[in-house]
Amino acid sequence: MDPEAQNQPEAAAKLPIADLQTWKRKLIEMGGFEHLLDTFVGLPIAAIDSKLTLRCIESLLAALVDLTKLDPALLDAVLKRKEPLVQTSLTYIHLIAKFTLKIEE
pLDDT digits (tens, 9 = 90+) for 34-70: 999 999 999 999 999 999 999 999 999 999 999 999 9
Q: Which residues contact 53 (CB under 8 A, 6 or more apart)?
A: 45
Q: What is the pLDDT of residues 9-44, one digit of tens each?
A: 455 556 677 788 899 999 999 999 999 999 999 999
Give the single-character DSSP code of 104: H
Banded model confidence at residue 2, pLDDT cuts 50, 70, 90: very low
CA 81 to each of CA 28, 30, 54, 67, 85: distance values in angstroms, whole numbers, following the listed order:
17, 19, 23, 16, 6
